[in-house]
Structure 1
Amino acid sequence: MPAEKNTPSVLVVGAGFAGLIAARELEAAGFDVRIVEARDRIGGRAWTDRRLGGHALEMGATWVHWMQPFVWTEITRYGQKIYPSPDIDDAYWVGDGVVRRGTEHELDTALARLQEKIFEGSREFFPNPHDPLAVLHDPATPPEIRERFLRADTGSVLDCLREAGFGQADIDLADSYWSAGYQGSTATASPLMAKHWAALSDHRSSLMDEQTLRFKLVNGMRGLYESIAADLRADIVLDTPVRRIDHSPTAVEVHLENGTVERADAVIVTAPIGALRHIEFDPPLSAGQRKVIAEGTNSVGLKIWIKVSGRHSIIAGAPGSHPISLLRSEYFLDEENATILVGFGSDHTAIELDNVDSAQKALDVWQDDLEVLDCAGHDWVADRWSGQTWATLRSGQFFDGWSHFLSSDSRLRFAGADYARGWNGVVVDGAIESGIVTARGLINEFTGVPGSGPGTREAPFHGSADAH
C-alpha cells in the first residue's frame, strides 16, 4: 500500500540504468518507490566484473561519449572520468576470402565510402534524431519521403551495397562492421537503424565510431550505476524475479516468483524485450507488443574478452559467418607481456566464451601468432533476464516494434534502452533517457498535467505505425 493516502506508489521492476534513473526521478517528486531486481546485482546489461586474472572488464555496455546527452549528464553529476581506448597500429580484415592488412586509417578509409552509401537518406529521415518517427506523424512530411522511410525499414542493411554494384570484398567489410553492430545477422537487420545511428552522429562514420567504440569510464560502468543507486532512498531487493503483473487504469498487482504480491499505483518494467516472455501480463499486452516479443530483436550475438600473449596493437574484421566479426586491442598488460582484446560476433552459439580453444580458432582467421591465454564473457542471449544483447532491430521493427511499448491504457509502463527514442538499444544513454521520460510521464499523470493520462504517452509514434 502507498506510504500515505496521497503519496503515489510505484514499483520499479529492474535495477539497471533505466530503473535506477526512473526511481530517482520519482523519489524527487515525492513518490513512494520500491525496486525489485531478478539478478543478484544491480546494473542490468551494464556489468563491470573482474575477469582474466582480476582485471576490471565490462561484460556488457562499455563506451560513453559527451555527445550522448543523457549519460554525459550523469557522468558530470557524479564526477566520473573517461579515458580513450588505445590507438591501433595494424588492421586486418577478411574480404572475399582473403585476409587484407593495413593501418587503422586505411581500414577506416575503405569502410567510410561504404558507410556513406548505407547512411543515404539519414538527413531526410531524421531531422531530429531524438524524435525518430517524426516523419510519420509530421503532416509537413512530403509523401515521397514518408514512403522511402517505410521502404528503408525493409530488406537488409547491406542491400544498398549490392544494388549499387559493390564487390564482395567491400560487402564483406561492411558485413563485419554491421554484424558486430547489430549483434546479429545483417540479412535480417533493419537498414533504418544504421541510418538512425548516423543521424545521432552528425551523419559521420568517424563520429559514430568515436561515440560507440572510443571512450570508457575510469571507474567502469559500476562507478556510475552504483553512484546513482547510492542516491536512492528506496530499497533494492535483489534475487526477486517477477512472475505476473495485473494492471488496470488505477493500480497494479505484481506477483513475485517467491509467492508474494506487491501492490502499487503503477509499475515500470525495465526488462529488455527478450526477457518479457518470462512475465505474464493480465490483461495481456497488445497484439503489437506480443508480436515484437515473439519475434525477438536482431540481438543474438556475443561479446568476448580474450587475453593473448605478447603486445598486439590490432583491429580486425571478418564477415558475420565467422565467430568474431570485430576484434580490437583494449588493454596492454606490459607486466604480464600480454594484451586483452575485445571481440563481437553475430551468433552467441558460434563460440564458447570461456573456452581457450574456441577463442583460438576464432583468432586464427586473421593471423597465427595470436596465442590465446584466457577468455571470458557473459552470454546475454542465454541469460533469462535479458534474452538478447543490446536491442538492435530486425527489418520492419523500426516503426513497427519498440514504439508499441511507448503508450499504455493502464498503469503499466515500460522503460529501458530497448524503448528509447535516441540511442535506442545500443548504449546506456538510451536507457537513461527512457527512465527519465517514463518517470516524468507518470509524475505528470498523477499531478494532473493535461494530456498526460494513460494512452497518451508517445501516442503519435504508435498511432502512425498502426495507421500504416
Structure 2
Amino acid sequence: MKGTVGIIGAGFAGLISARELERLGYTVEIFEARDRIGGRTWTAQKLGHELEVGGTWVHWMQPFIWSEITRYGAEIVSSPVCDEAFWIVGDTVHSGVEADVDKKLAGVQSKIFERSRELFPLPHAPWTNREAVAKADTGTVLDCVRNGEFSEEEVALANAYWNAGYNGESRTASPLMAAHWAALSDHRLSLLDDQTLRYKLEGGMKSIYSKIRNDIRGEVHLNTRVTKVDDQGDCVEITLADGTTRQFEQVVVTLPIGALKTIDFIEGLPDHAKEAMVEGWNCTGHKVWVKIKGHRKILAYAPDGHPLALLRSEYFMEDDTTICVGFGPDHAAIDLNSVEAVQRAVDAWDANIEVVSTFSHDWVEDEFTGQTWATPRTGQFLHGHPEKLRHGNLIFAGSDWAAGWNSFVDGAIETGFRAAREINEHRPL
C-alpha cells in the first residue's frame, strides 16, 4: 500500500477521492459528522415523493457527473416545460408561457455574458487569465444592465433569475460567476438553463452516491465529528469529538467554507479559504419544495423584495397535486415549512396557486454546511477556484473549490479526482 489518507466529509468529493485513492493503492478512512452520506446532496422521501433536499440538476455537458452516470447506469429525466409563466415587475404581474420568459431574458443575459469568451477561454481553468479575471471582479452581476439600455421588465427578470442562481442577493454577487457559467455552457443561455435547471436523476442523487459508497473498501465513520486538524509535517493528526486522535500521512478536507469554522486547524488554512471564511460566500438563500393543488406546469419569477425569486413545477402526483421547487435569496426572510407563509409568498404572482404542503431544510443554519451552494461575492471569484487544492499535507476538496462547475455536484466530483491526483503526486518517498 502507498500510504494512509483520512477524508473529512462523505459528500461526493469525499467519496470520489476515497474511491480513486483506493484504486491508486492507498488506505483510506472517511469521517462524516452526519448520520448519512451525501453531504449537500440528500435524496429523501418528502411530500409523498423522492425529493432532492440539496443538489439536483445534472447534464451530459457536465463531464464529471456524466462519467459517473455512465459508470453506474443511472438515468436522467427532464423537468417539464411550463405552459404558465408569471413574472413580477414593480407592482404588476405579467403572464405568458416559458418561451416568453426566455425571449425577454435573451438580450439582458447576453449583456451579462458579454465578456465570457475573453475572460474564460478555458472554462475548466478559470485562472488562465488571472490578472484580467481579478481586475474584472468588481461591481455586481446586474451593474452592466442598469444603464438604461434595458427595460424595467428585462432587469426585473434578470434580477429574479440571478437571485435564484446565486442563491443570494444579486446586489452583492460577483459578476464573474454568471460569465463563467456562460463559458461552461458554450456562451448560450439555453444550454446554461438546461445544465442548471432541466435534467435530474431518476431515483435521485442517492442512485449514484450510494453506489460510489459501495465501491469503497475503507471504513466510513458516520456520526463522527472531527474537531481539530494538526498538520505536523511528517503526518496529520485529527482529533475526534470524543477526544480520540488518529494520524494519517495526508488528509482531504471536503467541508464547505461555511463549516470550516467547526474545525480547529492548528497550522491554519490557505489564504483563499481564510478570506472566504471571514467574508462568507454570497449563498445565504434557500431551496423549498411546495406541493400545490392541481396539475399545473408553472414557472414564476419575482425580483428583490420577494422571498421567493423562482418557482417551477417538477412532479405531478396521482392525487391531482403538483410538487414545485422554489428558490430565494434570504433563508431568514420566510418560514419555508409554514404553509401559510409560503402561501402568502406565492400569492404575489396572483396565479390562483393553492399550497397544500411544503418542505425545506435550512442549509445556512445547518452547522455542517453553514451555506447553500457556493456562490461568490464581489472580489471572491478566484477564492473559489484555486489552481491547487493542496496546503501542506492537507487537500481542500469539495464543490466550493472546483475549477469548472463550482457549487454543482459536477464540481465536487472534479475536486475528488484532483485531490486523489495531487495526493499521489505528493506521496512520500
Q: TM-score, normalised by structure 1?
A: 0.89
SS in 2 for 1:300: coil
Distance 1:91 1:55, change over 3 A: same
Ranges in structure 2 where 5+ consecutive residues have no aligned partner? none
Q: Superposition pairs for residues 239-318 of structure 1, below 5 Å?
A: 239-318=223-302
Q: Determine the C-alpha separation between the residues in 2 that align with 1:234 and 1:253.
A: 18
**1:117 alignment partner in structure 2:** 111
CA displacement at 1:350 relative to structure 2: 1.3
* Among candidates 66, 70, 73, match of residue 60 of structure 2: 66
1:75 aligns with 2:75: no
Q: What is the match of residue 434 of structure 1?
A: 415
Take 2:270 and 2:210, find their aligned partners in 1: how far apart are those partners?
35
- Equivalent of residue 352 in structure 1, options 314, 335, 353: 335
Which residue of structure 1 lines up, in the alignment, with residue 384 of structure 2? Answer: 402
Displacement of 1:294 in angstroms is 0.9
User: How much does 1:289 deviate?
Assistant: 2.6
8 Å contact 2:63–2:410 — kept in the other structure?
yes
What are the equivalent positions in structure 2 for 1:23-38 lying under 5 Å apart? 23-38=18-33
Match of 2:316 among 328, 332, 337: 332
- Is the alpha carbon distance of 1:331 and 1:407 closer, same or farther for their aligned partners in structure 2, counting shifts above 3 Å? closer
Q: CA deviation at 1:86?
A: 1.0
1:15 equivalent in structure 2 = 10
Contact 1:95–1:172, Cα closer than 8 Å, also in 2? yes
How far apart, CA to CA, are the structure 1 residues paired with 2:226 and 2:150? Answer: 49
Using the alignment, how far apart are the partners of 2:291 and 2:7 within structure 1?
A: 38
- 1:320 Cα deviation from its structure 2 partner: 3.2
Distance 1:254 1:164 in 2: 56
1:408 is displaced (CA, Å) by 3.9
CA distance in 1, matches of 2:272, 2:300: 39
2:400 aligned residue (418, 431, 438):
418
For residue 116 of structure 1, report the CA deviation from its aligned partner.
0.2
Residue 174 of structure 1 corresponds to which residue in structure 2? 158
Q: For residues 403-441 of structure 1, what are the alpha-carbon distances to aligned partners after superposition, in whole Å with 9 as ceiling and x for unaligned?
A: 45835452111100000000011x100000001001111
| Aligned-pair CA distance for 1:312 | 1.5
Report the counterpart of residue 196 of structure 1 in structure 2: 180
| CA distance in structure 2 between the partners assigned to 1:292 and 1:104 by the alignment | 36
C-alpha distance in structure 1 between counterparts of 2:66 and 2:148, whole Å: 38
Q: Any conservation in 2 of the 1:123–1:199 contact (CA below 8 Å)? A: yes
Which whole-Å CA distance do the structure 1 matches of 2:387 and 2:404 have between them? 15
Among all aligned residue pairs of Structure 1 and Structure 2, give the percentage whose two residues are the same amino acid.
51
Q: 2: CA distance between counterparts of 1:307 and 1:126?
A: 40
Matched residue of 2:178: which SS?
Answer: helix
1:444 maps to 425
Structure 2: distance between partners of 1:39 and 1:74: 24
Answer yes or no: is 1:134 the counterpart of 2:115. Answer: no
Deviations 1:25-81 (A, max 9, x none): 1101111100000111000000000111x3100001111100000000000000001
- Using the TM superposition, give the Cα deviation of residue 321 of structure 1 relative to its aligned residue in structure 2, in angstroms: 2.1
Q: Higher mean Cα deviation, 359-368 or 401-410?
A: 401-410
Question: Quick one: distance in 2 between partners of 1:28 and 1:352?
Answer: 45
Aligned residues of 2:386 and 2:403 also touching (Cα < 8 A): no
Query: Secondary structure in 1 aligned to 2:205?
Result: helix
* 2:390–2:422 Cα contact (<8 Å) kept: no
Return the alpha-carbon distance in structure 2 between the equivalents of residues 213 and 422 of structure 1.
17
SS of equivalent residue, structure 1 residue 364: helix
Indicate the residue corresponding to 1:101 in structure 2: 95
Q: Is the 8 A contact 1:249 1:409 kept in 2?
A: no
* CA shift in 2, pair 1:325/1:409, >3 Å: closer
Q: Match of 2:358?
A: 375
3-state SS of 2:29 partner: strand
Letter in 2 for 1:214: R
Deviations, residues 367-403 of structure 1 (Å, cap 9, x unaligned): 252111100011100000000000001100012x224
User: Given residue 142 of structure 2, which amino acid in structure 1 is its aligned partner?
Assistant: L
Tell me the amino acid that sits aligned with residue 129 of structure 2: V
CA distance in 2, matches of 1:246, 1:366: 53
My pick for the range that moved more, 366-375 or 29-38, is 366-375
Partner of 2:307: 323
Shift of 1:22: 0.2
Hey, what's the Cα distance between the residues in 1 that align with 2:259 and 2:199?
29
Q: Normalising by structure 2, what TM-score?
A: 0.97
Residue of structure 2 in register with 1:343 after alignment: 326
Residue 96 of structure 1: how far off its partner (Å): 2.5
Q: Is the Cα–Cα contact under 8 Å of residues 324 and 362 in structure 1 kept in the other structure?
A: yes
SS at match of 2:362: coil
The Cα shift of 1:97 comes to: 2.3
Give SS of 2:426's match.
helix
Cα RMSD over matched residues? 1.4
Q: Is the 8 A contact 1:180 1:346 kept in 2?
A: yes
Aligned mates of 2:209, 2:297 — CA distance in 1: 31
Equivalent AA in structure 1 for residue 352 of structure 2 = D
